[in-house]
Amino acid sequence: MVKAITKTEEEIRSTLSVIAISGFIVFLVVTFALHFVQPDYDASKKYVSEFILGEYGWLLNIAIVGNLIGCGAFTLAFYFFHKSQKSLICLVCLCVATLSVITNFFPTDIHGNAVTISGHIHNIGAFIGTLAIFPVMIIFPYQLKKVGMLKGIYVLLILLMLLAPVSFLLLLIIANSAPSFIGISQRIFAFIIMLWLILAAYRLKTGVFKKS
């Protein structure tokens, strides 16, 4: 059973969606810029999180803040979007994913070096956050399809949902067998997730689930 959405909730959801999209874009833009301000960084062999170990680590912290704000706003926007039992699962997963972003502030370790406590926290948070977002990527498009809102560009949500676990498995395989390409595989996976979140946030802004 889907509860009715009030006009005020629609306005709140729309505002939160814009904040979420802005946060995700800040993350993407700042992260992209880091590749130019730190040219000695080998993007093919290093994780994005290793930027924090360099001279411009503070810029990565700005990107992480943007991502954290984006995830938090997206979670709240989702709450005001579809109130049902299935969406409760998504809401819990989104809360976990949002909290996991905080662990990104713990400096990671250089790939191949001994893992420190800070690195453990960072890695565990990233893994949990990744697992938490997958159920959301599955359930959200299903909810859209159920009410006839999975149309046009939003069909990409399905494609990205299918690509996400494949790219994640590829990332794990490359991390253990071909570390020279670990950076490229991580960026592909991260871009898939961020693009999905931006599209989903825009759908939250423009779409309304009516009472059934």
The secondary structure of residue 115, as a DSSP letter, is P
Query: Which whole number is the average pLDDT over 56-85?
Result: 87
Q: Which helix (H) or strand (E) holds 176?
A: helix 156-177
Is 1 inside a domain boundary? Answer: no
3-state secondary structure of 23: helix
Cβ neighbours of residue 34 closer than 8 Å, sequence gap 6 or more: 41, 51, 56, 59, 60, 63
Number of domains in the chain: 1
Is 40 inside a domain boundary? Answer: yes
3-state SS record for 93-157: HHHHHHHHHHHHHCCCCCCCCCCCHHHHHHHHHHHHHHHHHHHHHHHHHHHHHHCCCCCHHHHHH
Query: Which whole number is the average pLDDT over 195-200?
Result: 95
Query: Which whole number is the average pLDDT over 6-29?
Result: 90
Q: Are 209 and 5 in contact (CB under 8 A)?
A: yes
Is 212 inside a domain boundary? Answer: no
CATH of the domain at 147: 1.20.1070
Q: How confident is the model at residue 1 (pLDDT cuts 50, 70, 90)?
A: very low
Is 163 inside a domain boundary? Answer: yes
Distance CA 151, CA 158 (A): 11
Mean pLDDT over all residues of the chain? 86
Distance CA 99, CA 93 (A): 10
Is 211 inside a domain boundary? Answer: no
Is 105 inside a domain boundary? Answer: yes
Q: How confident is the model at residue 136 (pLDDT cuts 50, 70, 90)?
A: very high
CB neighbourhood size of 69 (10 A): 19
Backbone angles phi, psi at 106, to 5 degrees: -80, 120
Distance CA 55, CA 51 (A): 8
Greater pLDDT, 49 or 209: 49
Owning domain of residue 131: 7-206
Is 195 inside a domain boundary? Answer: yes
Is 127 inside a domain boundary? Answer: yes
What pLDDT score does 7 carry? 67
Record the pTM.
0.88
- CA 56 and chain centroid, separation: 22
Greater pLDDT, 142 or 22: 22
